[in-house]
């Protein structure tokens, strides 16, 4: 019985360490688009991505960083940099916890080639 318990403890410690090293937590640099959680990146014809995103947020949506198929919710929705970069491709440096990001830097990304 003692051997089984020791083996179980080793497994918990080994896999627990993997969970702590998971790349979806901690300080990261992500490149994506500042969008809204309800409106997404499909824009209304005749509206710029910036205007569309800002109007969605004004109507109650939250700012998110869209990275491929994944969305990261900005923890500080009142950050003025989100309004400035609405609808733009950006590079965000921040602490990621699950699907939430606490941004310490938000900069315009280089144009895609």
Can you tell me the distance from the alpha carbon of 13 to that of 87, in angstroms, rounded to the nearest whole number? 43
CATH of the domain at 94: 2.40.50
Q: What is the pLDDT of residues 33-56, one digit of tens each?
A: 999 998 765 666 788 999 999 999
| Residue 68 pLDDT | 94
Tell me how far apart the 2 most distant CA atoms of the chain are, in Å.
70
Contacts of 24 (CB under 8 A, 6+ apart): 96, 98
Is the pLDDT reported for residue 15 higher than 80?
Answer: no
Look at residue 14 and tell me if it is in a domain: no
Look at residue 11 and tell me if it is in a domain: no
Task: Look at the chain and report how many structural domains it folds into.
Answer: 1
Contacts of 10 (CB under 8 A, 6+ apart): none
Residue that the structure tokens 């640099």 belong to: 29
| Residue 24 pLDDT | 56
| pTM beyond cutoff 0.85 | no
Look at residue 33 and tell me if it is in a domain: yes
Can you tell me the distance from the alpha carbon of 39 to that of 63, in angstroms, rounded to the nearest whole number? 10
Q: What is the pLDDT of residues 52-85, one digit of tens each?
A: 999 999 999 999 999 999 999 999 999 999 999 9
What's the domain range around 36?
Answer: 24-108
With a pLDDT cut of 70, the percent of the chain lying above it is 73
């Amino acid at each position: 019985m003692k051997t089984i318990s020791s083996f179980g403890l080793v497994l918990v410690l080994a896999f627990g360490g993997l969970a702590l090293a998971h790349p979806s937590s901690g300080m990261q640099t992500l490149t994506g688009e500042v969008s809204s959680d309800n409106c997404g990146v499909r824009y209304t014809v005749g509206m710029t991505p910036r205007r569309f995103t800002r109007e969605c947020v004004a109507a109650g949506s939250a700012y998110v960083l869209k990275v491929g198929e994944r969305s990261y919710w900005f923890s500080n929705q009142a950050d003025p940099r989100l309004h400035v970069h609405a609808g733009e491709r950006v590079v965000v440096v921040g602490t990621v916890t699950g699907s939430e990001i606490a941004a310490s830097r938000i900069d315009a990304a280089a144009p895609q080639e």
